[in-house]
Amino acid sequence: MQKSPVVIRVGGVPEHFNLPWRLALEGGLFEKKGLDVRYQDYPGGTGALTQALREGSLDVAVVLTEGIVANILAGNTHRIVKVYVGSPLVWGIHVPAGSDILTEADLPGRRVVISRRGSGSHLMALVHAAQKGHTLSDGQFEVAGNLDGAREAMKQGRGEVFFWERYMTQPLVTSGEFRRVGELVAPWPSFVIAARKESIIQYPDALREMLELVDYQAERIMNNPAAAGIVAGRYGLDRGQAAEWLAITRWNMNFDEPAEALASVIAALQQVGLVQQLPTDSLWAELS
């Protein structure tokens, strides 16, 4: 009797970074290798993805590096198995178009919209405040769930500032809904792949083969002269913005542990008080 393929449940944000997953699925790459990969979008971002890993509804998540590090250090047992996007993420600092906030100097004391606590939008707001020499109290955060929730919170005046990936929000800046008052470049790889410990133990070979196929698809995108048009058409950017994003984005093709980058994330989380002590166990797991 033929053995049924391993079902691998994968989650990620509905953003251009995950185009390789979408194209691999649409092209049948996983099926051709006998892998049953079931991909689902999580508009709630890293917070929602780490919760799904913790609850066991996902085996693998494509997550922000700083978010998963904070999550693991909080005691969760999933582990990072691969750097997915090696280039740093460019965060846009957004305000409503009619806001009296004109520069980053006007940000102290303002209410910050976040997708959820522990998300990238939460963590990077704290990192930015620390870099600029001020603090954010817990009461300054307005939890909105996702990008659409953040837009509504800003319209209703429940929040005044919103950190989000600057190319995903570019259409909202172009339309005049948001205004960008600054940018923050996180000094570490943008996205990593995290997996449940149980999945790493049970089928490491299948996980690695799946991720190698995603690497293959990502490399095809990076070498495709028509890629800017594909990104623009799918994610609402003009071709020039898509080309600009592709020029600074590098998907990672290896399975090497980024020890220095992880140490940098830990140091930043310590600085803002989200990590009280150094990890006693590795954040990383090798796939055979």
Given a contact cutoff of 8 angstroms between Cβ atoms, the answer to whether 160 and 99 are in contact is: yes
- In this predicted structure, what is the pLDDT of residue 185? 94
For the record, the structure tokens of 113 come out as 């919209």
User: Hey, what amino acid is at 6?
Assistant: V
For the chain, what is the largest distance between any 2 Cα atoms, rounded to a whole number of angstroms?
Answer: 68
Which residues does 156 contact at the CB level (< 8 Å), separation at least 6? none
For the record, the structure tokens of 104 come out as 């980053």
- In this predicted structure, what is the pLDDT of residue 1? 42
7-87+189-271 and 90-185: identical CATH topology? yes
- In this predicted structure, what is the pLDDT of residue 119? 82
First to last CA, the chain: 26
- In this predicted structure, what is the pLDDT of residue 275? 77
Given a contact cutoff of 8 angstroms between Cβ atoms, the answer to whether 60 and 195 are in contact is: yes
Cα–Cα distance between 95 and 104 in angstroms, integer?
A: 10
- In this predicted structure, what is the pLDDT of residue 5? 79
Which residues does 34 contact at the CB level (< 8 Å), separation at least 6? 5
Q: What would the pLDDT profile of 10-24 be if each residue is shown by its tens digit?
A: 999 999 999 999 999
CATH fold of the domain at 7-87+189-271: D-Maltodextrin-Binding Protein; domain 2 (3.40.190)
Cα–Cα distance between 40 and 48 in angstroms, integer?
A: 12
**For the chain, which residues make up each domain, given as ranges?**
7-87+189-271, 90-185
The CATH number of domain 90-185, selected from 3.40.50.2300, 3.20.20.70, 3.20.190.10, 3.40.190.10: 3.40.190.10
Given a contact cutoff of 8 angstroms between Cβ atoms, the answer to whether 189 and 106 are in contact is: no
Q: Name the pTM for this structure.
A: 0.90
pLDDT tens for the chain, 288 residues long, are: 456 778 999 999 999 999 999 999 999 999 999 999 999 999 888 888 999 999 999 999 999 999 999 899 888 899 999 999 999 999 999 999 999 999 999 999 999 999 888 788 998 999 999 999 999 999 999 999 999 999 999 999 999 999 999 999 999 999 999 999 999 998 899 999 999 999 999 999 999 999 999 999 999 999 999 999 999 999 988 999 999 999 999 999 999 999 999 999 998 888 888 777 667 678 999 997
How many helices and strands in the chain, by DSSP H and E?
12, 10
Q: What would the pLDDT profile of 92-126 be if each residue is shown by its tens digit?
A: 999 999 999 999 999 999 999 998 887 889 989 99
Neighbours of 235 (CB within 10 A): 18
Distances (CA, A) of 78 to 55, 201, 281: 11, 11, 12
For the record, the structure tokens of 1 come out as 């009797």
Neighbours of 171 (CB within 10 A): 15
- In this predicted structure, what is the pLDDT of residue 232? 95
